[in-house]
Structure 1
C-alpha cells in the first residue's frame, strides 16, 4: 500500500535542514534510520524477528518527508498492507510512525549534536535519557508511582504468554501501569491483561509504554496495545530508561535478551552506591518455567555471589501473589521517595556506572576481548556478561549483527573454564527450550565459546 499522511501527536513542523537530513540517503543522513524504524512499525504483527528478512521482503518500501507551508506530510510507498484498513492507515500505527519521526529528529538535533549533552559522562548520559523521555511526554510528575516494567522473551510458549496476561490482569486490577520493550510475547501479554483490568476498574488513562531502539525495533515491532512509544538511540539508553522510569520490575521467561536485562539490572543494584535502593524485582512464570528460573538463579549466584538473591524474588505459577507483592513493593517505593523528597517520575537517586552506559558495539574483536572472569568486582563482571549477551542478541536479530556473522562467522567468547561451562549450559538451555528464535524457526548459533 502507498499513502500520504500527517503525523499524529508528534512533530508537525520541521526545518528545511531537518527535512533534508531525513531525505539524505548517504551514510551521514537519517533516511536509512527512518526507513528501517518506520518499516518495523508498519510491520507490527509480522511473524519474523529477522530484520534482514523484513528489509528484503519489503525491499521497495520507502518513506519520504514532504515539507509544506502548513506543516509536514509523510509519504509511504509499498508499505505492508496490514497497516491499513480500507486504504486508511490504522491510527495506532500512524501514532507510532509519528513517534519514530519525533525521536529520530530530537535525538539527532538536540542530543547527539548539541554541546549541552556530554555523552562521555554519567551525568550527561542520564540527562540525555531524561530529556528524550520528557520530549516524548513520558514523564508525568502528577501521578503516584505505579509503572511496572515487564521483561521477557518474544519467543515464548502459549502457556507462558497466557501467564503474562494473567499477571498483567492482576497488576491492572491494582491500578498499576505496564512498560515493556513493546514487542510480542512477554512484552504484549502483560499489556493485554492490564488493558482488560483497567477497563473493569474504569481507568480511562491506563498507560502501556513501549521503549525500543533502532537496532531491535524490527525484531520487536511495537504491538498494537502500546499507547506511548519511545525510540531511544541505543540499547544502553533504552535499558537506563527502563530502570529510571520503572517503580518495580517483573521478569518473565525469555532468552539472551532477557538475560541481558537481568544482568544489567542486578549489576546496577549490586553497586555499593545503590545498597539502600527500593526497587521490587520479581522473576515469575507458569509451573513449567520453574527450571528456567532455577538455571538463571544458579548462574547468577555463581557469577555474582549469594548476595544477589537479596535483590529479587522468584514466584512460580501465582499471578495474584506476584501482583500483591508488586503492589506492596511499589507502596514502599512511594514512601521511600516521599521521605527522601525524590521525584516519582524519574529515579535520579539510582547510580548507573559508566560500564552500563558506554555504548557497546558488538564487533568480533570487542566480543572476543570481553573480560569474562570472576577476578573483578561483581558489578563489573555483570557489565561484561551483559555485553556478551547483548552481542548474541545482535547476532540473532539485529541487522548489523546478522551482517557481521554472515561476513566473519560466529562471535568468539573467551571465559575462564568453570564460568564458560556455566555459560554454555545456560545458553544451551535457551536453545533447547526454543528461546532464541520465534517458534518454528531453526536457530543457528551466532557465538562460539572458546
Structure 2
C-alpha cells in the first residue's frame, strides 16, 4: 500500500492523561514489552482512520517502522510518533478526533493492564467479569447516571454496498431526529452510516451533546479503524467484553446487513435473550435494510428458525425499507425499557438485570482444535447452541481479518467446523450466500478464499 509518513510529538488537549512512572516504563521497554506492542498496534490503526484498507496484516507490514514513544512531562504525557501515517495530519497538526482517540487508546490500554494486575479484579466468576466491564466503561467516562434510555446500538457490515450504506444514514437520521444517540463498532460501513445520519439530525434539533460511542477491541481495531465521527472511543480487552459492553450500555439494537461479524453479534445477543432469566426483560431488537437486502434478511431469519427455533425468531422484528418506522419502533421500545427499569430500580446507564452466563463471557481462542471441537448439536439447549454458533462465526472472522487468525490459516489451512447435518446444512447455506453476495472480506479485491470448511 502507498504511504506518506511524518515524525511528530503530540500531547492531549483539555484534561491531561496522567501516567505513573511504572506505567510509562511498561510502555517504553525499548518497544519489546507486550503493553507497548498492543498500544503501538492500536495507535497505528487510529492513525489510519479513513484509509481504505481493512487487513490488519497489511497495515502492520506497510508501517513496520512505525514507532510510538511515551514521555512523561511535568503536566502529563506526550507521544513521540515516528514514521506515522501522514493522513492523520493537516498542515502539520494532528486532526482533533484522531488526537482524542489516540489518547483514549492510551487510557484504556494502560487502565486494562493496571486492572489485570490488581488482585481485586475477579475474572473467575460471571459477576466478576461483568463488574470488570463496568469499571472499564466507567473509567472511560462512558456511563452517565440519570440520563433516560436513548443509546441505540447499530450492528452490521463494514463493507456493505452503496445503497445499504445510504439506508443506514437514513435510519441514523430518523433516530437522531428523535434525540437518540448512536453506538457502533466504530469502523466504516454500518458503523459509520448511522452516526453520520444522526449528526445532521442532531444539528437540526440543536442537540449539542449527541453521543457517537465506538466500542472496539485490539484484535479487530486494525481491520476496522475508528471512523472520525466517533466522539467516545473505548477499547475493550477482547471480543467477549466488547460484546458485553454493547448489550450493557445499549438500550436497543438495530442490525443492518453484514457478514459473519454481524451474524456473530446477532447470535451472541439471541443466545443471551433466549436465557430463561431474560424472558421478560424488554430489549428492542430490529433487523432492517433497503428493499434489495430483503433476501439477505429473510435468509438470516430462516437460519435462526432452522437452528434455534421460533422462540428465537420471536425476539426480534424485521422491517424493510422504512427508516421512519424503524425509529418509531425503537423509540417505543426504549420507553418500555425505561418503564421496566424504573419499576425494578435498575440503572439506565448499565443493564445490570441482563443475565449473561460465563459461556458468553469467556474469551474464545479460535485455534483449529477449538473450532473443530465446537458442540453444534440439535440436542443442545437453544441459548447454548447460539453461544457455540457465535464462536464458529467468531473463528471465521478471525481467519478473515485478524492478524493471528490469518497466520493460522496460512500455516494450517482452513478451520473445520463439525456438527449435526440439521445445523451444518443451514450454516453452510448461509456462509455460501455471504460469499456470493460479497459479504465476506475480499483482500485486495481478490476472490475470497474461505477460512473454514463445514463438515457434517
TM-score (norm 2): 0.97
SS at match of 2:269: helix
Contact kept? 2:16, 2:75, Cα under 8 Å: no
SS at match of 2:218: coil
Cα distance in 2 for partners of 1:248, 1:9 equals 32
1:369 aligns with 373
SS at match of 1:65: strand
CA 1:302–1:362 in structure 2 vs 1: closer, same or farther (change >3 Å)?
Answer: same
**Correspondence list, 1:8-407, <5 A:** 8=13, 12-24=17-29, 29-110=34-115, 112-407=116-411
The offset of 1:29, in angstroms, is 2.9
SS at match of 1:311: coil
2:3 aligns with none
SS at match of 1:2: strand
2:454 aligns with 449
Contact kept? 1:370, 1:384, Cα under 8 Å: yes
Cα distance in 2 for partners of 1:315, 1:91 equals 37
Cα distance in 2 for partners of 1:289, 1:398 equals 27
Cα distance in 1 for partners of 2:229, 2:46 equals 13
Contact kept? 2:54, 2:401, Cα under 8 Å: yes
The offset of 1:312, in angstroms, is 0.1
The offset of 1:2, in angstroms, is 1.4
SS at match of 1:23: coil
Deviations 1:221-273 (Å, cap 9, x if unpaired)?
Answer: 10000000000000000000000000110000000000000000000000000
The offset of 1:322, in angstroms, is 0.3
Q: Once superposed, what is the RMSD of the aligned Cα atoms?
A: 1.2
SS at match of 2:49: coil
Unaligned runs of 5+ in 1: none
CA 1:11–1:310 in structure 2 vs 1: closer, same or farther (change >3 Å)?
Answer: farther
The offset of 1:15, in angstroms, is 1.4
Cα distance in 2 for partners of 1:220, 1:35 equals 16
1:7 aligns with 12
Cα distance in 1 for partners of 2:336, 2:112 equals 34
Cα distance in 1 for partners of 2:415, 2:178 equals 44
Cα distance in 2 for partners of 1:13, 1:329 equals 41
The offset of 1:185, in angstroms, is 0.2
Cα distance in 2 for partners of 1:418, 1:336 equals 38
Cα distance in 2 for partners of 1:11, 1:340 equals 39
Contact kept? 2:27, 2:33, Cα under 8 Å: no
Deviations 1:133-159 (Å, cap 9, x if unpaired)?
Answer: 000000001311000000000010000
CA 1:433–1:67 in structure 2 vs 1: closer, same or farther (change >3 Å)?
Answer: same
TM-score (norm 1): 0.98
The offset of 1:45, in angstroms, is 1.0
Contact kept? 1:256, 1:436, Cα under 8 Å: yes
SS at match of 2:68: strand
Unaligned runs of 5+ in 2: 1-5
> How many positions carry a matched residue from both structures?
449
The offset of 1:115, in angstroms, is 1.4
CA 1:71–1:11 in structure 2 vs 1: closer, same or farther (change >3 Å)?
Answer: closer
Cα distance in 2 for partners of 1:244, 1:437 equals 29
Cα distance in 2 for partners of 1:264, 1:52 equals 27
Contact kept? 2:236, 2:242, Cα under 8 Å: yes
SS at match of 1:56: helix
Cα distance in 1 for partners of 2:446, 2:213 equals 28
Deviations 1:389-430 (Å, cap 9, x if unpaired)?
Answer: 000000100111111111111111111123111111000001
